Amino acid sequence: MTLAEAYAACRTIARREAKNFYYAFRVLPQHKSDAMCAVYAFMRRADDISDDESLPIEQRRQAMSVWVESWRTARRSGVSDDPVFIALNDTQKRFAIPDALLEELVQGTTMDLEPQSVAAEAIQTFATFEDLYRYCYLVASVVGLVCIRIFGYTDPRAEKLAEETGVAFQLTNILRDVKEDAERGRVYLPQNLLHEFGSSTERVEALAHGAPMESADRAMLHQLEAKAAAYYKSADKLLPLIDKDSRAALWVLVTIYRGLLIRIGKRDSDVFSQRASVPTTSKLLTLAQGMAMALLNRATS
């Protein structure tokens, strides 16, 4: 398999699955867009194994272990017949992405497969926001740290800002997916936040199964929304620090994700009666604006 064929396979995966991310990939220069598709395809493979509910947790854990070891072997040897591994190896070399970041990315993906200290049927939770932040770091901030290496930057401040931007994205995902996650045995809202508003994991499960929302439920979710909104300010500071030819891509991604958070807020945090989403027409408008921005940046660079 040629390198071009490997990247084409990754782009097919990204086009089919990436949704919000793929809009941002479209406004990057080709070599950077290819690299982002490779990283996304790698994450998608890991997520698909982790989330395959047709298999028990233990079998998923074993499948993940086999897949990760195959990737590590491909990384060390530089030899593979897997298009995702081939493209990712090239991306890693081309953009000097450290092994440690990719290992953390895998660690984040596999967190949901870790053996629980309590019964297997127990709800998965986080005790504090600090615990949740660590989860967000591993599943989203690490992705941001990989992405800025592809985007390009020289100012070291970009790394902390990328970390916090990733947290903003993941908190937005968590808010959007509260209902679906609770139905799958996962409540990512921190326990101390629940307790502050007189709530519990049982209350979140009840809301997921149709219990009417009360003012305390909305106030609790508003607080998490406020944290996410605060972290989006880091994205605004990050934008001028990355290479000019990549700023439009980051702007598209932040605009779409921040728009999702705004929509949740406009619905008074009702994430249970209907899943919040940004309409395709709005995404296409953002993409058009991003393309215009990318053309202008390239013309003036």
* Cα separation of the two ends of the chain: 36
Return the higher-pLDDT residue of 139 and 118. 139
Q: Does residue 247 sit in helix, strand or coil?
A: helix
176-216: pLDDT as tens digits: 999 999 998 889 999 999 999 999 999 999 999 999 999 99
Which pTM was predicted?
0.89
In the block, tokens 């990318």 appear at: 294
Rounded alpha-carbon distances, angstroms, from residue 74 to 80, 84, 282? 5, 10, 40
Look at residue 117 in the predicted model and tell me its pLDDT.
36
Instruction: Using a pLDDT cut of 70, give the percent of the chain over it.
Output: 96
91-115: pLDDT as tens digits: 999 999 999 999 888 888 777 666 5
Q: Is residue 164 classed exposed, middle or buried when 0-12, 13-18 and 19+ CB atoms within 10 A define those classes?
A: buried
33-42: pLDDT as tens digits: 999 999 999 9
Tokens of 261: 């958070």
Instruction: Using a pLDDT cut of 90, give the percent of the chain over it.
Output: 74
**Amino acid letter, residue 196:** E
How much is the average pLDDT of 162-188? 94
Look at residue 200 in the predicted model and tell me its pLDDT.
94
Domains in the chain and their CATH numbers? 1-98 (1.10.600.10), 116-301 (1.10.600.10)
How much is the average pLDDT of 129-141? 93
Q: Quick check: 257 pLDDT over 90?
A: yes
Look at residue 120 in the predicted model and tell me its pLDDT.
44
**Average predicted confidence (pLDDT) for the chain:** 91
Please answer whether residues 193 and 225 qualify as being in contact, where contact means their C-beta atoms are separated by less than 8 angstroms. Answer: no
Q: Does residue 242 sit in helix, strand or coil?
A: strand
Look at residue 301 in the predicted model and tell me its pLDDT.
67
Please answer whether residues 177 and 186 qualify as being in contact, where contact means their C-beta atoms are separated by less than 8 angstroms. Answer: no
- Rounded Cα gap, residues 151 and 157, in angstroms: 15
Give me the numbers of helices (H) and strands (E) for the chain, helices first please.
15, 0
Query: Residue 50's pLDDT band (boundaries 50, 70, 90)?
Result: confident
HSE, side-chain direction, 13 A CA sphere, residue 195: 8
Return the higher-pLDDT residue of 48 and 57. 48
Look at residue 115 in the predicted model and tell me its pLDDT.
53
Look at residue 122 in the predicted model and tell me its pLDDT.
59
DSSP helix, strand, coil percent of the chain (3-state; round to 5): 75, 0, 25
Look at residue 233 in the predicted model and tell me its pLDDT.
97
Please answer whether residues 13 and 37 qualify as being in contact, where contact means their C-beta atoms are separated by less than 8 angstroms. Answer: yes
Task: Give the torsion through C-alpha atoms of 266, 269, 271, 275, to 10 deg.
Answer: 10
Can you say whether residue 70 is alpha, beta or left, with left for phi > 0 and alpha for psi between -120 and 50 degrees? alpha
